């Protein structure tokens, strides 16, 4: 091969290199997304077990509708209709990936106000300021979403030292989610009420659950009922089930696991002894599940006919997709990049998906609404602006 032919071949490579550089930002995310889809949906994936069909058992339905017998034979005090959320245990000033209290978080708290009709709503936090600050408890009302909610919620500050003391294995490097796992049990044990993850939505009042003679109510995660998930919990204070659960944390280094203590372990405790806990069907809190296909189903665009159908179902069920659903966990760990981070008030109000139809009622009236003085606003008008 001559020197001239080598130079000519290199010349042909130049446009390919430039094309790869220019198209890289578009191609690489697509390749990653494709690989993620294949990894989660291939025939040997565990997700098909989570997605499997199920039929609610009599015990589960008795728990759901308040028909569980009182083994003690006496009157029990109702569980308080108080909802606890936890956010901001990591500081986004030093750890940007922790994120700030955002629109999705606002929607979750609004669900407790509008959907659950909670008597009290507590937001437990360490860092809430926006923009983030290096100092904990910097004015939380600097966050515009918190400011919107300030008249309807109670903010409860927890210092970094208090949160560090919750670690049952001193010196262990835990994720904030694991510290939150212990804090939520501590709050329910001391105060009673309802706990919701910041990406969980209460769709209607938990009236029957609050009257349960059992001191702890949890929902199965997945059609295989492989665990009881701690993302939504209802508990009476001084629950013996929480005592048993928290005892298992002693000396545990949670940095070596992800969900055993928060999902698998409570199921094991329920199987060992179930008289102090009510286990609900998967459909009550955690259906659709976290799997690729289920998340896609919740966020896919609907035709006009489909939108009318699901809007009618949600209305008929008092805010839920189906009649035995009380809450929906949005599974942000799995759905954030694909769908949730793209949501805005405008998108929720105008784009019909099952998720958007379900949470649309939680928006305050001035969010995502076109604002115009002469009433001539349309989708192409430059005089339109959306209030955020």
The CA distance from 107 to 113, in Å, is 10
Nearest alpha-carbon partner for 182 in 250, 101, 132, 121: 250
The CA distance from 129 to 140, in Å, is 5
The CA distance from 346 to 105, in Å, is 16
Helix (H, G, I), strand (E, B) or coil at 212: coil
Report phi then psi at 84, rounded to 5: -110, 130
Nearest alpha-carbon partner for 314 in 281, 343, 353: 353
Contact predicate 360/314, CB 8 Å: no
Report how far apart, in Å, the C-alpha atoms of 231 and of each of 60, 191, 271, 285 are. 18, 17, 20, 9
- Which pTM value belongs to this model? 0.87
The CA distance from 224 to 227, in Å, is 8
Q: Exposed/middle/buried for 205, CB within 10 Å: 0-12, 13-18, 19+?
A: middle
Helix H or strand E encompassing 278: strand 278-280
320: tokens are 């839920």
The CA distance from 348 to 359, in Å, is 8
State the first-to-last Cα distance of the chain, in angstroms, to the nearest integer: 65
Fold classification of 58-285 is Spore Coat Polysaccharide Biosynthesis Protein SpsA; Chain A (3.90.550)
DSSP state of 78: P
Nearest alpha-carbon partner for 79 in 234, 277, 307: 234
Contact predicate 221/227, CB 8 Å: yes
Non-local (6+) Cβ contacts of 212 within 8 A are 63, 66, 68, 79, 234, 278
**Dihedral (CA of 168, 171, 176, 177) sign:** negative
Q: What are the structural domain ranges in the chain?
A: 58-285
DSSP state of 140: G
Non-local (6+) Cβ contacts of 111 within 8 A are 196, 201, 202, 203, 359, 362
pLDDT tens track, the chain, 388 positions: 554 554 555 555 566 556 656 666 666 665 666 666 776 777 777 788 999 999 999 999 999 998 887 765 567 899 999 999 999 999 999 999 899 999 999 999 999 999 999 999 999 999 999 999 999 999 999 999 999 999 999 999 999 999 989 887 666 677 888 899 999 999 999 999 999 999 999 999 999 999 999 999 999 999 999 999 999 999 999 999 999 999 998 888 787 777 899 999 999 999 999 899 999 999 999 999 999 999 999 999 999 999 999 999 999 999 999 999 999 999 999 999 999 999 999 999 999 999 999 999 999 999 876 643 334 344 333 333 333 3
Nearest alpha-carbon partner for 49 in 220, 280, 196, 199: 220
The CA distance from 40 to 264, in Å, is 21
């Amino acid at each position: 091969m001559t020197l001239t032919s080598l130079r000519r071949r290199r010349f042909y490579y130049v446009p390919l290199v430039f094309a790869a550089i220019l198209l890289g930002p578009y191609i690489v995310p697509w390749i990653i997304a494709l690989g993620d889809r294949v990894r989660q949906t291939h025939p040997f994936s565990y997700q098909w077990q989570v997605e499997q069909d199920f039929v609610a058992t009599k015990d589960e339905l008795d728990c759901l509708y308040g028909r569980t017998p009182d083994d003690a034979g006496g009157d029990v005090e109702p569980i308080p209709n108080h909802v606890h959320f936890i956010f901001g245990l990591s500081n986004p000033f030093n750890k940007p990936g922790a994120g700030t209290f955002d629109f999705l978080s606002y929607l979750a708290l609004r669900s407790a106000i509008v959907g659950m009709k909670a008597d009290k709503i507590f937001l437990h936090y360490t860092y809430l300021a926006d923009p983030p600050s290096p100092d904990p408890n910097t004015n939380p009302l600097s966050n515009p979403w918190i400011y919107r909610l300030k008249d309807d919620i109670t903010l409860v500050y927890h210092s970094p030292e208090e949160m560090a003391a919750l670690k049952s294995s001193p010196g262990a490097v835990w994720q904030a989610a694991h510290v939150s796992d212990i804090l939520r049990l501590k709050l329910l044990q001391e105060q009673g009420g309802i706990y919701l993850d910041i990406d969980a939505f209460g769709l209607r009042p938990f009236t029957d659950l609050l009257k349960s003679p059992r001191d702890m109510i949890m929902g199965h995660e997945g059609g295989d009922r492989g665990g009881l998930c701690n993302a939504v919990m209802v508990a009476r204070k001084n629950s013996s089930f929480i005592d048993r659960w928290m005892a298992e944390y002693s000396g545990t280094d949670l940095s070596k696991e992800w969900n055993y203590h928060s999902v698998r372990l409570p199921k094991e405790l329920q199987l060992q002894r179930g008289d102090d806990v009510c286990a609900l069907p998967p459909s009550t809190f955690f259906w659709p599940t976290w799997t690729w296909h289920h998340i896609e189903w919740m966020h896919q665009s609907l035709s006009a006919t489909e939108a009318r159908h699901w809007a009618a179902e949600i209305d008929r069920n008092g805010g839920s997709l189906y009649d035995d659903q009380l809450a929906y966990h949005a599974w942000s760990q799995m759905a954030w990049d694909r769908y949730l981070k793209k949501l805005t008030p405008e998108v929720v109000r105008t784009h019909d998906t099952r998720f958007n139809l379900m949470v649309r009622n939680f928006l305050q009236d001035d969010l995502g609404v076109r604002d115009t003085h002469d009433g001539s606003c349309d989708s192409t008008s430059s005089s339109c602006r959306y209030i955020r």
